[in-house]
Chain A
Amino acid sequence: MKKIVSIPVAVGLLLAAALAFFLGALFVDQAAKDTQRMIGERHGIVQAMALAEVVSRVESEGVDVEDRLATVVEHRAQLKVKGIRIIRLSGARLLASSMPGDKATPRRLKKDEKWLFDLGQRLRIARETNRDEGIARKKEIELEYQPGEGMSVSAPYLVDGTVHGYVQLQLPQQVPASMASRGLAIIGAALVIGVFFILAIPLGHFGLFRPDEQGLSRGQLALAAGVLLLGLWIFAVTQISSLADHRWELEEGLAKHFTQLRAATMDISRSFGFKPAPFTKNLWDVDDYRRPLGISDARGHLMLKALVAVQTVQFEEMRRSLDGVGLLALAVLLFCGAGWATRLKDTLVEHREAYLYVSPAIIGMLILVFYPFLYGIVLSFTDATIYNTGAPLKELWIGFTNYLNILADIHVFARSGQGWIVNYQNFYWTLFITVAWTVVNVSIGVSVGLLLALILNTKGLKMRAVYRVLLILPWAIPNYITALIWRGMFHKQFGVINQVIQMFGGEPVAWFDGVFSSFITGIATNGWLSFPFMMVMCLGGLQSISQEMYEAARLDGAGRWHQFRYITLPSLKPVLVPAIIISVVWTFNMFNIIYLVSGGEPAGSNEILITQAYKIAFEQYRYGYAAAYSTIIFVILLAYGIFQIKMTRATEANI
């Protein structure tokens, strides 16, 4: 039988449909659960507000307050709640409670119940702040989920317009029900695939959209894409409309609950001999800021316009997610249907041994090096700090603000009363120190290392091996220990270096108090630990130069300087250039020395970029800003690396 259906397209459609409908069902389910949860919260809020109204009436009457409230809290069974607490802030009194465990009310709050008082204070402050500012900024109702126990709602009650206390309800755990979207998704995916075959097979018989030799067919790919998108669209439309129906039902239930509560509070009010308060609007169905939502009116009828408005926002978000799912599914279909997947599979199979050996390291690197790196880059576009670690990064997104704050701030110098002062926290100052630090260190390393290597390479010099071993010692010692040793030696009062200065009659120097002297401490430490590396590298290079070249040069009458300039240096280049590149990168990022010796003292003037980034992240806890700082460091190093490679290539080409 000749091929009629393109296998890659069919497989692609199968994968794409499975993925799309599975994800779609997941989103719909999540949306339904979110709605149920939100409605559940609003049930709690309506109850708390109803209760708060009764309490506030009782409190403003001021007669038999505690007895009356005791009867109020006994309504918990009717309200379908686990318990009620009523707390008055003045005197920190627990007026009444039907919470299991709260015994003997009314009474003063105990010491271990301080959190209840604090909660009340928060609610009062929130109310006052919002009233003074005229905006809704702080939440006036607090919701708290206790895992496995349910939810508590705390709403303030007001007397004469000020917060007097609050009521707290403990609501039972509610289990949100799933919608039937999962079953629908399977049917949808099956339908999409079925329709594709029903269309493709007859068309193929008539010679349309037949796959070519490789089994590929653009026509069938387009057909599959069309069927898939149509199926997804129908799924989305039906699911959104059933979500809307679901919401409508839940809102109706809530509105009914409201009318019941209203009747119940009227009964209670009458039993206390109050005149029932007139009710023109549903003032209990409110958001966290106690602003009425206006979805249902005073008699519990739904307001269609308001409901549609809130739902539009919800469905807009839903639609965007489903659009994303559609795009993803199309990408999968295209990837398989256009034959790329087959090719990828062939490559993987052909080189399976190579990939098998390389995969453990690559997987490790991906998870622990490249993913953190990309995450860090993303973090640099947010204002993530220690205080908002839980928030999703999307909400913290601030674009290039961090980079602008770092790079556009060029006020390194500022004029003060006594003259010019330097802003040591400025990026460009730190960059200047870092460059100076790197240049000075590498120069010292290269010159000292080269000099020692030349001496050690002298023919016939005795005790070479001894010198060599002793001089390598600083390299062998872990550098954090070196740093701490030098920190001790630079101690103002007890340090050895100041003892030497005093030995010759000098005054002790407070090394870490001056910008320049503090810089010197870092240079001394790093110079001490870095020259052996250069020395050893140079020595290796020198030993590989053949003596015949020198002899030939001497015959030509070349002096020592000429021999050094025209034989030694060029021969050392292949060793010296990579060594310098490596040590520039090392020194640029030499965290331990700066951090442990001077700590960037005084006043952060001697920080290098990497220690500054660390301090921003782990002493100021500004993760986003620190990430932007670090990204800039990376870009500088990368630019340096590319420049170096280009430079070496260019010079090699000239030779």
Chain B
Amino acid sequence: MKDNLTGEMNHVWLHIFMILFTLLAVYPVLWVFAIAFSGNQSLMIADISANPTFFDRLRTILPWPQHVSWKNFTDVMTEQPFARWMLNSLIVATLTTVVGVFLACTAAYSFSRFRFPGQRAGLMSFLISQMFPGTLMLVPLYIIIVKYLRLGNTFWGLIIVYSTTAIPFCVWMLKGYFDTISVEIEESAIMDGATRTMIFFRIILPLAQPAIAVTALFSFMTGWNEFIVASLFMEEEIRYTAPVGLRFFVGGFAQQWGYFAAGSIIVSLPVVILFMFTQKYLISGLTAGGVKG
């Protein structure tokens, strides 16, 4: 009985701590919402008088706008080319996902199911490639994509860069998952006269759906969130992706914080929701790779 009581007491303190910490952690998100719904471009949530009191200051940090308005959202989609940028991002990210998942699935299957010379070297080189600094690759990538392949200022240029950069992580993750699928299923399928291709498409891919979903999410996020390569490759404003466009609002001397906040919410919402649904798998993928070493 006594033990239970002290437990409850402890929980009170824990709740107080957790509520404070959660408020602190969520504040920047609330702040963005307040700016987005304020209807103007200012960084301040509320106007402030010349000699502000304690409560005036408090008003400026409370994440609730003085006038709630959808103006920033409607403006950013109609007056700014943001809808177009979203569409660009959607095209790039979707095709990145398709290409990336295809490349990763086939390679991971091979690494998981076959023993062949170069297997270890291939897997290790994928791992090491994760340490290549992006800045070392940017200039050569620019030369390859823009000069050799003539894909500068096109979506395909971005898509092939994104899908290949996502390969190593996806392959390691999928390989881990494929390893857990028992070989017996395949063997019995072979006994029944199935070819490798049939096994791969009819048995392995359907069984690996959760892992493929995570891989797809990862590829999609790579394409959806990247801005350095996109800002280097895309020359015309009409071809910007959403991240490049968002930075365009507040980078340098631009101070369109209202547009930025509204745009951020629109851009983040789909990935945040996707992330919340799939994070369990993402974590299991990360830990699975880690624990096995």
Contact = CB atoms under 8 A, between A and B. Distances in A.
A641 interface: yes
Contacts of B29: 473-474, 477
B25 A470 contact: yes
A10 interface: no
B139 A626 contact: yes
Given A467-B22, A469-B276, A372 B11 contact: no
Contact of A641 (B21, B25, B54, B131): B131
B32 interface: yes
A471 B25 contact: yes
Given A361-B103, A480-B243, A528-B25, A575 B291 contact: yes
B31 A489 contact: yes
B133 A613 contact: yes
Contacts of A379: 139-140
Nearest to A353: B196
A192 to B, nearest CB: 34
Interface string A250-267: 000000000000000000
Interface in B34-70: 35, 42-45, 52, 54, 57-58, 60-61
A527 B134 CA distance: 22
Contact of B18 (A376, A455, A648): A455
Interface residues of A, number: 94
- Tell me the interface secondary structure of chain B in the complex: helix
Contact of A460 (B7, B168, B276): B7
B285 to A, nearest CB: 11
Contacts of A578: 286-287, 289-291, 293
B286 A369 contact: no
B122 A358 contact: yes
Given A368-B144, A376-B136, A485-B31, A479 B225 contact: yes
B132 interface: yes
Contacts of B31: 485, 489, 496
A585 B131 contact: yes
A617 B43 contact: no
A589 B284 CA distance: 24
Contact of A585 (B104, B130, B246): B130
B95 interface: no
A462 B276 CA distance: 20
B246 A480 contact: yes
A574 B29 CA distance: 33
Contacts of A537: 283, 286-287
Contact of A478 (B52, B103, B131, B225): B225
Most buried by B among A460, A473, A487, A540: A473
A637 B133 CA distance: 9
Given A474-B25, A480-B227, A631-B136, A365 B102 contact: no
Nearest to A614: B135
A486 interface: yes
A604 to B, nearest CB: 15
A407 interface: no
Contacts of A503: 54, 57-58, 61
A357 B291 contact: no
Nearest to B196: A353
A467 B19 CA distance: 8
Measured as residues with beta carbon below 8 angstroms from the partner, the interface class of chain B is: 35 or more
A589 B7 contact: no
Contacts of B267: 478, 481
A314 to B, nearest CB: 30
Nearest to B274: A476
B90 to A, nearest CB: 15
B171 interface: yes
Contact of B117 (A347, A577, A648): A347
A392 interface: no
Nearest to B23: A470
Contact of B134 (A467, A485, A589): A589
B106 A354 contact: no
A598 to B, nearest CB: 14
Given A376-B137, A487-B250, A634-B133, A360 B125 contact: no
Interface in A576-631: 577-579, 582, 585, 589, 591-592, 596, 610, 613-614, 617-618, 623, 626-627, 629-631
Nearest to A380: B136
Contact of B14 (A461, A480, A500): A461
A105 to B, nearest CB: 42
A536 B128 contact: no
A499 B57 contact: yes
A652 B7 CA distance: 37
B232 interface: yes
A145 interface: no
Residue picked from A484, A486, A528, most chain B C-beta under 10 Å: A484
Interface in B234-293: 243, 246-247, 250, 257, 260, 264, 267-268, 271-272, 275-276, 279, 283-284, 286-287, 289-291, 293
Contacts of B119: 354
B95 to A, nearest CB: 14
A585 B31 CA distance: 30
Given A368-B160, A579-B290, A610-B133, A617 B138 contact: yes
Interface stretch (B72-80, B107-115, B181-189, B205-213): B107-115
A354 B120 CA distance: 13
Which one of A362, A482, A575 has the highest number of Cβ atoms from chain B below 10 Å of its Cβ?
A: A362
Contacts of B5: none
Contacts of B271: 476, 478
Q: 7 tightest A-B contacts by CB?
A: A578-B290, A630-B136, A354-B114, A361-B107, A357-B110, A372-B140, A375-B140
27 contacts: A347-B116, A353-B110, A354-B119, A358-B107, A358-B122, A361-B167, A364-B160, A364-B164, A365-B129, A372-B136, A373-B129, A376-B137, A467-B22, A470-B26, A480-B247, A484-B247, A484-B264, A488-B257, A503-B57, A503-B58, A503-B61, A578-B286, A579-B286, A582-B286, A589-B133, A626-B135, A634-B136
Interface of B: 7, 11, 14-15, 17-18, 21-22, 25-26, 28-29, 31-32, 35, 42-45, 52, 54, 57-58, 60-61, 102-104, 106-107, 109-111, 113-117, 119, 122, 125-126, 128-141, 143-144, 160-161, 163-165, 167-168, 171, 196, 200, 221, 224-225, 227-228, 232, 243, 246-247, 250, 257, 260, 264, 267-268, 271-272, 275-276, 279, 283-284, 286-287, 289-291, 293
